[in-house]
Amino acid sequence: MFHETYTLFLDSSLFANNISVASKFLKNYKISLKKNKYKEATKIAKEFTELVEEHIDITARDVRWCGMRLREKKLYLESILIFDAASSLSKKIENPEEKLEMIRFCVQGMKRTNEEMIEDDAGMKVVMREYVIPLMRNKLSQVMTSSSVSKQYKCLEVSWVLHYIEWSHYLVDQLNEQEQTQREAIRGMDEVFGENKIKYWVYGVLLHNLGTVCHKTTRYEEAASFYKQAIDAHKAATDYDDEEERKRNIELNIRNLSNISQKPKCLVM
């Protein structure tokens, strides 16, 4: 049954005659994570990536698409493996900015998978804490060590990846780790962009989410300060594609300010 299920998404143009082998990797990876055998899962992921890399025509984009398809069918752990492989395949991309963007997209894919996985099964929080979030951190290192792009471009990619990580900390109730990650991202943007940091959408997202952590931990003055800064940042951001989304984010911070003595009802996604 598992072979038939995976074959629907492991397109033959990607894996040629190795669909059966690839399916077995996915199955064993899931079993290892379910049993909390993280070293074994890491080994399987490495071997699977090597299998994928043997096919010179496979692109990171192809594999990432497969990860999204697996997530749609609620094959969450399998999709994490696929996003991991797609991130590794980014080394085939010649344009250094596109390479970092692909890694970011893969971490974003993991973050979205985390959201849906936890919603379906809260028992997966252990796997997220012990395996998936460290894996996302590993991908962050790939971005941070890149030397072929401008420091401004790298900083933006790093900031988004840190946002996906801090949100994943939130999903598994790690408030301290979430705040540390948020402050890491904000500090990086402060250093690289200075006053221009508010021109970027992600800065407002990070400020808002840091405000919610302060709100949850009853540091109301700090929370109010971050909400106000987030409003200013969302108003000033020049990289919004959707003005309605800008409006929603501003309104969210305004609502949280008006209920500053209450627990926040929602966070920016």
Domains along the sequence of the chain with CATH: 194-269 (1.20.58)
Residue whose pair of structure tokens reads 């079993």 in the numeric block: 31
Q: CA quadruple 169, 171, 172, 175: dihedral positive or negative?
A: positive
- Structure confidence at residue 66 (pLDDT): 87
* Tally of CA atoms within 13 A in the half-sphere of 17 that contains its CB: 0
- Structure confidence at residue 59 (pLDDT): 87
List the pLDDT tens digit at each of the 269 positions of the chain: 344 445 545 554 555 555 567 788 889 999 999 999 999 999 999 999 988 887 767 889 988 988 998 899 899 999 999 999 999 999 989 999 999 999 999 999 999 999 999 999 999 999 999 999 999 999 999 999 988 899 999 999 999 999 999 999 999 999 999 999 999 999 999 999 999 999 999 999 999 999 999 999 999 999 999 999 999 999 999 999 899 999 999 999 999 999 885 554 445 55
- Structure confidence at residue 1 (pLDDT): 38
Angstrom distances, CA of residue 224 to CA of 99, 178, 259: 38, 18, 10
Distance CA 18, CA 26 (A): 12
Report whether 44 contacts 32 (CB < 8 A): yes
DSSP structure string for 195-252: GGGGGSHHHHHHHHHHHHHHHHTT-HHHHHHHHHHHHHHHHH-S--S-HHHHHHHHHH
Distance CA 59, CA 131 (A): 25
- Classify residue 123 by burial, with Cβ atoms within 10 Å: 0-12, 13-18, 19+: exposed
Say which residues have a Cβ less than 8 Å from residue 263's Cβ, sequence separation at least 6: 215, 216
Q: Where are the beta strands (DSSP E) in 109-172?
A: none
